[in-house]
Chain A
Amino acid sequence: AQKVTQAQTEISVVEKEDVTLDCVYETRDTTYYLFWYKQPPSGELVFLIRRNSFDEQNEISGRYSWNFQKSTSSFNFTITASQVVDSAVYFCALSEPSGTYKYIFGTGTRLKVLA
Chain B
Amino acid sequence: EAGVAQSPRYKIIEKRQSVAFWCNPISGHATLYWYQQILGQGPKLLIQFQNNGVVDDSQLPKDRFSAERLKGVDSTLKIQPAKLEDSAVYLCASSPLRGTSTYEQYFGPGTRLTVT
Interface set of A (CB-CB < 8 Å, partner B): 4, 33, 35, 37, 42-47, 50, 91, 93, 95, 97, 100-103, 105-108
Contacts and interface: CB of A to CB of B under 8 A. Distances in A.
A50 B108 contact: no
A44 B41 contact: no
B110 to A, nearest CB: 5
8 contacts: A44-B108, A45-B93, A46-B107, A47-B104, A91-B42, A91-B43, A101-B95, A102-B48
Contacts of B56: 100, 102
Interface of B: 31, 33, 40-45, 48, 55-56, 89, 91, 93, 95, 98, 103-110, 112
B42 A105 contact: yes
A44 B110 contact: yes
Given A43-B89, A102-B45, A108-B42, A97 B107 contact: no
Given A37-B107, A43-B109, 13 more contacts: A4-B42, A43-B89, A43-B110, A44-B108, A45-B93, A47-B105, A50-B103, A93-B42, A101-B31, A101-B95, A101-B98, A103-B43, A107-B41
A29 to B, nearest CB: 14
Given A45-B91, A107-B40, A107-B42, A100 B103 contact: no
Nearest to B91: A45
Nearest to A106: B42
A91 B89 CA distance: 15
Nearest to A91: B42
A37 B97 CA distance: 20
B109 A103 contact: no
Nearest to B59: A102
Interface hub of B43, B44, B55, B112 (most chain A Cβ within 10 A)? B43
Nearest to A45: B107
Contacts of B91: 45
Contacts of A37: 107
Contacts of A102: 33, 45, 48, 56
